[in-house]
Amino acid sequence: MSNSSNEQSVESLFGDVISTYTRAQALEDGVLIDAGPMAEEVGFKYSVAITSAAWSDCVAWDEDDNQKQVYQDQSGRLWDVLYMAAHAVRVSTSISNQILYQLYQVPCNGKAVKAKSVTLKLVIGPGDQGEPVNTIMLPDED
């Protein structure tokens, strides 16, 4: 029996694709936020994006937050998220496409002034053209 007679196309198994949502569309829609050139500065070789939920929780900071809480800036908070992710990759002994890592940050809640430990997840996977890309997200996000 030949191998080709046993092979089935993906479409014959699952049917036509109903919908697709690309990484480029997620970046355009704001579901993902490009970490920009700072990711390369901390040592990433491939593109890094951060989910909007992780950005809101760990990066977002403005002048109003400085008035209500403690002085910080958004670029410093982004540096911390990226640096700790890159560090986690360097020290990891796991062979996996996901790494959980921790950092300390002041919650952006209008009242906190002390840093707390936060866990984030870094996932490396294929981009829209199959290229490697990194995504930083909250641990419960996929």
**Domain boundaries of the chain, sorted by first residue:** 11-137
Task: Give 15-54 pLDDT, tens digit per residue.
Answer: 887 888 999 999 999 999 999 999 999 999 999 999 999 9
Per-residue pLDDT at 123: 97
Task: Fill in the amino acid letter for 137.
Answer: M
Distance CA 85, CA 43 (A): 10
**Residue from 85, 9, 2, 88 nearest 49 by CA:** 85
Three-state DSSP at 135 gives strand
Q: Write down the pTM of the prediction.
A: 0.85
